[in-house]
């Protein structure tokens, strides 16, 4: 039987990775903007 729990955990792990990536990019953008002033 297909386990929805495992599926959801996989999705949240993937989303977390994507979120972490965007947060990192955003922080780098902020840092770059600060240093360019």
The domain segmentation of the chain, as residue ranges, is 1-37
**What pLDDT does 19 receive?**
84
In angstroms, the CA 32 to CA 2 distance is: 46
Q: What is the 3-state secondary structure (H, E, C) of 18-31?
A: HHHHHHHHHHHHHH
Per-residue pLDDT reduced to its tens digit, 1-37: 567 777 777 778 888 898 889 889 888 877 777 766 6
**What pLDDT does 2 receive?**
65
**What pLDDT does 1 receive?**
55
């Amino acid at each position: 039987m297909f386990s929805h729990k495992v599926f959801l955990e996989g999705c949240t792990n993937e989303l977390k990775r994507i979120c972490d990536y965007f947060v990192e990019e955003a922080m780098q953008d902020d840092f770059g903007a600060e240093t360019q002033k």
